[in-house]
Amino acid sequence: MRLKVARWGNSLAVRLPGECVRAAGLQDGDSVEAEITPAGEIMLTPAKVFDKARFLQRLRKLHEKMTMTEAVVEKMRREGRY
């Protein structure tokens, strides 16, 4: 899809067509991350908002799956190898 670059104040801007906005799940006021690839391509990705509560929930689940074992230092002390 070819888009036109236009002046917007002291900057340049590209207008995203509605079909692109809908496909990306964007809404008015959302943010996107812009990345320039080594080949000079511009990639726009919807910015994800950090959800602290969801992150902590995932962290707790991962922690529950971890087996708690004896610390390496304690094992070496017990075996007299320190």
Give the pLDDT band (50/70/90) at residue 74.
confident
- Whether 5 has a pLDDT exceeding 90, the answer reads yes
pTM of the model: 0.52
Give whole-number Cα distances, 62 to 17, 46, 57, in Å: 41, 27, 9
For the domain made up of 5-78, the CATH class stated in words is mainly beta
Distance (Å, whole) CA 31 – CA 47: 5
pLDDT band at 44 (very low <50, low <70, confident <90, very high): very high
Q: How far apart are CA 37 and CA 71, in angstroms?
A: 44
Q: How far apart, in whole angstroms, are the C-alpha atoms of residue 3 and residue 18?
A: 12
Task: Please state, for a pLDDT cut of 70, what percent of the chain lies above it.
Answer: 99
